[in-house]
Amino acid sequence: MLRRHEPLPVLLSVLSVLGLLSAACAAGGGGSAQRGEDDTARTVVDVAHVPSLLFAPLYLADAKGYFRQEGIDVRMRKVKAGQDVAPLAAYGEVDMVAAGFSAALFDGVSEGLKVKVAASMGASTGEKPSPTALEVSRSLKRSGEVEKPSDLRGRRVAVAGGAGSAGGYQLDVILRKSGLTLKDVKVVDVPFTGMRAALAEGRTDAALSPAPFTTAMERADVADQLAVPPEGTVATGLIAGQDFVPRPVAQQFLTALRKGAADLQGDGRTSRANLTILARATGQDTGLLRRTPAYRWDPGLRTDTRQLSKQQTAYREAGLLSGRHVPVDDLLP
């Protein structure tokens, strides 16, 4: 059964993240100024992120010095996938959050959470092989028990963060093409790093996973791609604190970020130099990334308002939202 987002547990989980980040941020977050190694005054921007290829523009902009060119020193703070971390930006513990959009984001804004969606990130190509895919246990596929998404009715599907996470929305758009919705499957919360084992051990029948975890489980003879999100599906991006958005440094940050996105157009998505940077940023093997399908990024990283609207509708229909409907314009800077 799907569980509706409840504000109190979300705040408690956020407080635990705040505890992990507070010591690091106490030295100067929230766009504080400091001097770089070249004695040039720069503004510090703290960014919480879930290490993922979805946020490739962020890692390229950092490694290639685009942020420094804009007078910014970026401090990266890792958080867990599927975690509700938007409040980190709202409370000023960090300036930006690169993560998936969740049911908690919509409920939070409906309850007064002061954040804005500043950019959309990696989009699905809609083609196989796809960087994000619904993977099915290879044993179920070979036995003929699961040959198409509609065969998952009543079965367990692993999604990092559960049904109310960004992955939950991606799963929903895949299922809808086969006449199902989130309510027709048993969504289980499994981190990306645990999905391969969960499939191999029969603890779940399928898993919605991003690259390069999809590639790894396929190469391990554990799973096969069953279906992929439609072209243009976006469920992740950059969330900024409302007080940070109007500051000049926010626009400078986005300018640098767009340079990173420009480097990922065409052959840039798979260039050796870029993959080396991304492997270091995500902790993945460069060879594995070379075999992994790439996402697509809008050069301007424009917020996809249509996808945000569809995502909120999916959560609402699944019974995952308790707050009022949030007009998309309320989410924009």
Q: What are the tens digits of pLDDT across the range 148-201?
A: 999 999 999 999 999 999 999 999 999 999 999 999 999 999 999 999 999 999
pLDDT per position as a tens digit, 232-255: 999 999 999 999 999 999 999 999
- Between vectors from CA 17 to CA 13 and to CA 22, what angle results, nearest 5°? 140
Measured over the CA atoms of residue 46, residue 52, residue 55 and residue 57, the dihedral's sign is positive
Backbone angles phi, psi at 28, to 5 degrees: 140, 95
- Provide the mean pLDDT of the chain: 89
- Binning pLDDT at 50, 70 and 90, where does residue 85 land? confident
- Residue 38, pLDDT score: 53
pLDDT per position as a tens digit, 195-224: 999 999 999 999 999 888 998 999 999 999
pLDDT per position as a tens digit, 260-280: 999 999 999 999 999 999 999
Q: Which residues are paired to 188 by β-bridges?
A: 158
Question: Is the backbone of residue 77 left (phi > 0), alpha (psi -120 to 50) or beta?
Answer: beta
User: Which domains does the chain possess?
Assistant: 43-124+233-324 (3.40.190.10), 132-227 (3.40.190.10)
CB distance 110 to 273 below 8 Å: no
Q: Which two tokens stand for residue 239?
A: 């969330």
- Residue 272, pLDDT score: 95
- Residue 40, pLDDT score: 60
What is the distance between the alpha carbons of residues 141 and 148, in angstroms, rounded to a whole number?
9
Placement of tokens 């440094």 in the chain: 249
pTM score, whole prediction = 0.86
Pairing of strands 115-120, 236-241: antiparallel
Greatest Cα-to-Cα distance within the chain, rounded to the nearest angstrom: 65
Per-residue pLDDT at 288 exceeds 90: no
What is the distance between the alpha carbons of residues 272 and 73, in angstroms, rounded to a whole number?
25
Report the pLDDT averaged over residues 65-75. 98
Pairing of strands 41-49, 96-100: parallel
pLDDT per position as a tens digit, 13-66: 444 444 444 444 444 455 655 545 554 678 999 999 989 999 999 999 999 999
Q: Which residues are paired to 159 by β-bridges?
A: 189, 208
Q: What does each C-alpha distance from 116 to 9, 190, 237 come to in angstroms?
A: 22, 28, 11
For the chain, how far is it from start to end, CA to CA, in angstroms?
Answer: 35
- Binning pLDDT at 50, 70 and 90, where does residue 10 land? very low
